[in-house]
Structure 1
Amino acid sequence: MKRRTILTGVSLAASILVSGCGMIDNAADNFVGVIQQTKRESEDWDYGFKIAYKEVKSSYDGNKTFSNPENDYSKGELFEGKYAVLMMDDAETASALYRTISRNADARIADLEKTTLEVTKQARAAYEDAIDNDRPFIGPYYYYENVNVIRADDTLVSTTTTIDEFYGGPHDNIVQYGCTYDTRTGEELRIGDVLKCSEDELRRILAEELYATEEDENQFMNLDNTLSHYKFEPVSSYTSDDENAELPYNWYFAGDGLHFIFNVYELTSYNYGASDVVLGYDEYESVIDEKYIPAADSYYVTSHTVYAGSDKPDENGITLDFIADIKNSGIMVDYYYVHQKDGKAFIYVVLPEEDESYKLFVYEVTDGNPRPVSIRTCERSAEELKDGYTAYPAYAFWGRDLMGR
């Protein structure tokens, strides 16, 4: 199966590069040439993305006090959070994709403002209840989220939103949601749009993949019944009538295939965590519509996360233990795999500095043995927006960043 050109990103730390990058190594010119070729091949896809952040915090301003100050675990803080919203460069206002993402961003910002008010009210009530009943207040409550552009090309844009939230109770809750847009029309794609199989066949595949990861016989109890509630076109969502509830699939496209995410409690107990089922492009080429499978004879970039110093080959057959030379072993590192039409391949690792600049380490890995090519330093820039949001570039096309545009 021929794969289409793709450019992907995983962590925000690795994807926030900005213009004004300065060369440290003259050999970097060689790599910039690579990116220029990629840019020319992808001239019809030149959109830039940015992530807008806002930090919020609320404190107790009432007149009640703890008789035992040690019960105030939060020291008077009720709620804190960091919101993240996907946006696009203003230069893209004419595109349908820009209009869709901007409309979604406005709606998301409005929802997050409501979240602040609602959670603060909830935390305040719990705080005063703890005072009244002479027991500890476990806080502050919090809500942190991150948005990542996972894959972007001339066919689709796939993103994920990861949320870590705590509203009291024994533990926090971490969830992830995917969203995929049609690049040309700007419409959000539905799971039925990208598959060639029936709903029954998809449920069978997902069950097989989930059982293959089973840690013990109790992990996926009643799995078939649970999966039966997931629909291509659900007409209802979570309701008190669990037997008749119809649920949407949670999915996105990445470099390795089509991901289905089942967050904690959706299929199994909290102790087992979330389930991530990947339908690989090669393994499931008869299931995924060919339009959405990236081509092998094109330029493409995929993203990966590894432990610095790992001596195990990754999915590209490359051993990345050399990363320990630029980052302490045991630290999670994001890197990008860049493949050219002529067969040459590169990886580049982006590491943040204490002053918020970034260093880009480039290696050629065509023969599987990493060879240093260049090092670059890039400054991180910010754009102040209304309502307390600050935006940072998160380009899906690395050509802009590496060429300083």
Structure 2
Amino acid sequence: MMYKKMRSLGTMMSLVLTASMISGCSIANPQEQIDAVVDSGESENSDTQTEEQVKVDTKDGIGSSEHTNILSGDDGSQDAPGFFSDETGGEKEDNTDEKLSSDQSVNTAYNVGGPTYKLVTKEYSIKYDGDVTFPENNENSKDYSNGILFEGVTQSVLMDEEWKDIYPELYKTLYDQTQNVIEKADGWANSTAEEAKAQYEDSAQNGYTFFGPFENTDDYSIKRSDNTVLSIYCFNYEFTGGVHGIYGASGQTFDVESGKELDLGDVVTVPEEELDKIILTKLHEIEEYDGQFSLAEDGLKSYRYYAEFDTNSDVHEYKYKWYMSDDGIHIIFNVYEIASYADGMQDIVIGYEEYPGLVESRFIPEENTGYCRREDIPVWKKGNDSDIHYIHYNYYPTDYDDMDDEMISAEDLELVMENGSSAKIGGGFSIRRDRGLKSYRVGTPEGREYIYVIIPIENDYYYLNVFDITDGSVTYVGDQGFHYLEESIYGGFDIDTLYSNPDNMHFGQVLNSLGTYTCYGSYKVGKNGMPELVSKEFHIAWKSEEAYSKTKLSADIVGEDGTVLQSGVTLPVGTHVIPYKTDGETYIDCKLDDDRIVRFTYTSFEYPASFKEGEVDDLFEGLKYAG
């Protein structure tokens, strides 16, 4: 007997609204989710809640710790410190509200095409820690979770630090939103794990099968980024028991200058009724069979630009789910909203100038500008794609590929276009089947278009492979090796770069001139499509945080822009330095505890690196080397 146990309506409402509150991205229309449960005829019995804490085993290697659900507000703990914090747990001074004045030093951000951003991520894998076991000889009572209650990925987006003084309002908006995610994510994960635990034990004790683990996974990407707007695409998959999981998407679009999150009504000039006519026309253009979107006309009557949704009244208005990309405004309809689950999500695009006057002029991108956005390109095993007529990858399997259900083992990779044009690259790789390959579609002002695909290799390195897909045909351009830029922050979250600006893409490398550190430079799309270094200034990400001088050292005091403010300063023994920037050849800039920046000049940059006073390993204690 298959075990089915659905949340109560109140619990489902809590989950939908809480997910929206944490991430800032509203995925589902709550009433439609409720209607879908009621219409399915599945049980509405509420799950038993337990107060026992669940240990979090994070995949990022931070370690296990006990958490309670801080969303409930009853854990008795103080608020978590800011994720950029000092040693005492207090937040650093926040100057994001200050305006950029004319006498401030020039910011070092490469100011072309808009600011750059990074992705904040935490992965969860919460294991069952109780004593209940499943019977060994009961075919109707099995554990398909391998003892894992919950797996998930929580994400948020931050602006890179070098843009903080140029766009302080948006920096603060994203910072505050990410802080909220960090403070509440563990509670959300543990709350879901507790529900899974109750179902797990009930299944084992009553002869049912546990179809787990429960899952809640975010996948965020930037679809448009320039000096006017930032538009984020938020995809989410959730499984909490039952026949299948639920997936959906939404968007968040911000005014870069003011930091305000935009409503669709801020961007278009017509009333909802006029927009709905356009949406219906677009839906009929992609209709695969008669009546596929027959519910759309009535359903759209409840959509509003500035919607109100009150569960305690009859006011059930829904916000449009939308985002902006280089090709126009996209409107999203998730499963059950205008069609069946089997019909899937719908994503329609309205070109910026397809309907003259529809879009406010300031939101229409300038002509002949480049773009860089995530492209979801599926990966198929060679030979299994005969009926596929959209852009995809084929991988050529190794002899070990069929031996592992979780990992793809490939010898070669091939990019295939909609028209059948293809290009193949050699070199083996291994990736998780459920993650695929991270790809970007990159366009230049000259009209050339490329696919950038990241293929991971050992020790946190990867190859960036470049395909030229201009005019629909594909040729392979080449590859370049880089290092992932992940760094850990408060709460076990990791930060990695998000590519959104073709004139300012951050790619990383590893250097060893003051301990081991990862650093990133700014690159643009070169004439042949390969990344081309823009500036010789590299920002340092992961580094030795506890380096102290063992002797007096000579250095220059410099400003944020690298201007020498005071030369030949002598630093005393015991000076604490944190690597900050480098040119990768002659100098390294470090932050002092008083926030001044000092520049050390090398006599030899290669390991063992040296200043004029001697080798750096003899000059500092606390340096860390990887490998």
**TM-score, normalisation: structure 2:** 0.52
Partner of 2:409: none
- CA distance, structure 1, for counterparts of residue 236 and residue 468 of structure 2: 35
Asked if 1:142 is matched to 2:215, the reply is yes
**TM-score, normalisation: structure 1:** 0.78
Where 2:247 maps in the other structure, the secondary structure is strand
Where 2:330 maps in the other structure, the secondary structure is strand
Where 1:288 maps in the other structure, the secondary structure is coil
- CA distance, structure 1, for counterparts of residue 366 and residue 356 of structure 2: 12
Asked if 1:66 is matched to 2:134, the reply is yes
TM superposition shift of 1:369: 6.5
Where 1:234 maps in the other structure, the secondary structure is coil
Residues 363-382 of structure 1: pairs in structure 2 closer than 5 A: 374-382=478-486
- CA distance, structure 2, for counterparts of residue 89 and residue 236 of structure 1: 34
Q: Write the letter of the residue equivalent to 1:336.
A: R
Residue 373 to residue 140, structure 1, CA distance change in 2 (3 Å): closer
Asked if 1:307 is matched to 2:392, the reply is yes
- CA distance, structure 2, for counterparts of residue 300 and residue 183 of structure 1: 16
Residue 303 to residue 191, structure 1, CA distance change in 2 (3 Å): same
- CA distance, structure 2, for counterparts of residue 203 and residue 367 of structure 1: 33
The counterpart of 1:337, out of the listed 442, 445, 449, is 442
- CA distance, structure 2, for counterparts of residue 363 and residue 55 of structure 1: 31
Partner of 1:389: 493
Partner of 1:212: 285
Where 2:342 maps in the other structure, the secondary structure is helix
- CA distance, structure 2, for counterparts of residue 159 and residue 171 of structure 1: 27
Q: Write the letter of the residue equivalent to 1:71.
A: K
Residues 79-98 of structure 1: pairs in structure 2 closer than 5 A: 79-94=150-165, 95-98=168-171
TM superposition shift of 1:116: 0.9
- CA distance, structure 2, for counterparts of residue 153 and residue 105 of structure 1: 21
User: How many residues are aligned here?
Assistant: 353
Higher helix share: 1
Per-residue CA shift, 1:70-94, capped at 9, x if unaligned?
A: 6122232211112222122233333
RMSD: 2.8
C-alpha contact 1:348 1:360 (8 A) present in aligned 2: no
TM superposition shift of 1:344: 5.7
Asked if 1:225 is matched to 2:298, the reply is yes
Q: Write the letter of the residue equivalent to 1:150.
A: K
Q: Write the letter of the residue equivalent to 1:347.
A: Y
The counterpart of 1:189, out of the listed 258, 262, 286, is 262
Asked if 1:49 is matched to 2:117, the reply is yes
Unpaired stretches in structure 1, ≥5 consecutive residues? 1-39, 314-318
Unpaired stretches in structure 2, ≥5 consecutive residues? 1-107, 378-390, 394-414, 429-435, 507-522, 524-532, 539-627
Q: Write the letter of the residue equivalent to 1:158.
A: S
Q: Write the letter of the residue equivalent to 2:448.
A: A
TM superposition shift of 1:43: 2.5
C-alpha contact 1:281 1:293 (8 A) present in aligned 2: yes
Q: Write the letter of the residue equivalent to 2:357.
A: S
Query: Aligned residues: percent identity?
Result: 28
Q: Write the letter of the residue equivalent to 1:337.
A: V
Per-residue CA shift, 1:187-209, capped at 9, x if unaligned?
A: 10110111011111011111121
Residue 124 to residue 201, structure 1, CA distance change in 2 (3 Å): same
Per-residue CA shift, 1:55-113, capped at 9, x if unaligned?
A: 22222222322223761222322111122221222333331111000111112223422
C-alpha contact 1:255 1:303 (8 A) present in aligned 2: no
When Rg is computed on C-alpha atoms for both structures, the one with the higher figure is: 2
C-alpha contact 2:437 2:454 (8 A) present in aligned 1: no
C-alpha contact 1:307 1:332 (8 A) present in aligned 2: no
Residues 124-135 of structure 1: pairs in structure 2 closer than 5 A: 124-135=197-208
Partner of 2:330: 259
Residue 171 to residue 93, structure 1, CA distance change in 2 (3 Å): same
* Bigger shift: residues 91-100 or 172-181: 91-100
* Bigger shift: residues 153-162 or 115-124: 115-124
C-alpha contact 1:307 1:333 (8 A) present in aligned 2: no
Where 1:272 maps in the other structure, the secondary structure is coil
Partner of 1:245: 316
- CA distance, structure 2, for counterparts of residue 277 and residue 325 of structure 1: 33
TM superposition shift of 1:46: 4.9
Partner of 1:151: 224
Q: Write the letter of the residue equivalent to 1:145.
A: D
Residue 336 to residue 216, structure 1, CA distance change in 2 (3 Å): closer
C-alpha contact 2:392 2:417 (8 A) present in aligned 1: no
Where 1:67 maps in the other structure, the secondary structure is coil
Asked if 1:201 is matched to 2:274, the reply is yes
Per-residue CA shift, 1:2-23, capped at 9, x if unaligned?
A: xxxxxxxxxxxxxxxxxxxxxx
Partner of 1:279: 350
C-alpha contact 1:177 1:251 (8 A) present in aligned 2: yes
* Bigger shift: residues 207-216 or 174-183: 207-216
Q: Write the letter of the residue equivalent to 1:270.
A: Y
Residue 286 to residue 364, structure 1, CA distance change in 2 (3 Å): same
Residue 354 to residue 63, structure 1, CA distance change in 2 (3 Å): same
C-alpha contact 2:114 2:225 (8 A) present in aligned 1: no
Residue 336 to residue 152, structure 1, CA distance change in 2 (3 Å): same
TM superposition shift of 1:289: 1.7
- CA distance, structure 2, for counterparts of residue 281 and residue 146 of structure 1: 26
Q: Write the letter of the residue equivalent to 2:149.
A: L
- CA distance, structure 2, for counterparts of residue 118 and residue 366 of structure 1: 48
Residue 52 to residue 333, structure 1, CA distance change in 2 (3 Å): closer
Asked if 1:288 is matched to 2:356, the reply is no
Residue 351 to residue 75, structure 1, CA distance change in 2 (3 Å): closer
Residue 362 to residue 332, structure 1, CA distance change in 2 (3 Å): closer
- CA distance, structure 2, for counterparts of residue 327 and residue 177 of structure 1: 36
Residues 321-332 of structure 1: pairs in structure 2 closer than 5 A: 321-322=422-423, 324-325=424-425
- CA distance, structure 2, for counterparts of residue 233 and residue 182 of structure 1: 17
Per-residue CA shift, 1:200-251, capped at 9, x if unaligned?
A: 10111111211222233343233221110000111225x476x741011110
Residues 159-178 of structure 1: pairs in structure 2 closer than 5 A: 159-178=232-251
- CA distance, structure 1, for counterparts of residue 306 and residue 270 of structure 2: 14
TM superposition shift of 1:125: 1.3
- CA distance, structure 1, for counterparts of residue 135 and residue 417 of structure 2: 55
- CA distance, structure 1, for counterparts of residue 438 and residue 190 of structure 2: 36
- CA distance, structure 1, for counterparts of residue 427 and residue 477 of structure 2: 17
- CA distance, structure 1, for counterparts of residue 427 and residue 260 of structure 2: 41
Residue 203 to residue 56, structure 1, CA distance change in 2 (3 Å): same
Q: Higher relative contact order by CA 8 Å / sep ≥ 6: 1 or 2?
A: 1
